[in-house]
Amino acid sequence: MLEFTLPIAFVMITIALILNLYRMIVGPTVMDRILALDTLYINAIALLIMFSLYLGNTLYFEAALLIAVMGFVGTVALSKYLLRGDIME
């Protein structure tokens, strides 16, 4: 069953990545761009995990975890900068 569903999921996540990249570049407001960046790294995590399942090893799970942590920190920093104009207090 995995041989049939993984290629379809790869294509769908890749289309989602392209659409998120478009929204990040063209987005009308800065908040739209931050939300597109947040969704972009979540889709990248999903793509890495699916690739790891396709290969049958757990090597890429650590990379997905690092992307998740760095993406969360980046989103919080950008949001805090937009709200206050300063990241550090």
For every one of its 89 residues, what pLDDT tens digit does the chain have, with 9 covering 90 and above? 777 898 999 999 999 999 999 999 998 888 888 889 899 999 999 999 999 988 888 888 989 999 999 989 988 888 888 888 766 66
Q: How many domains does the chain have?
A: 1
What pLDDT is stored for residue 89 in this prediction? 63
Are 34 and 78 contacting, i.e. CB atoms less than 8 angstroms apart? yes
Q: Residue 56's pLDDT is what?
A: 87
Question: What CATH number is associated with residue 39?
Answer: 1.10.287
In this prediction the pTM is 0.82
> Is 89 part of a structural domain of the chain?
no
For residues 41 and 16, the answer to whether their CB atoms sit within 8 Å is no
Query: Could you tell me the residue range of the domain that residue 75 belongs to?
Result: 2-84
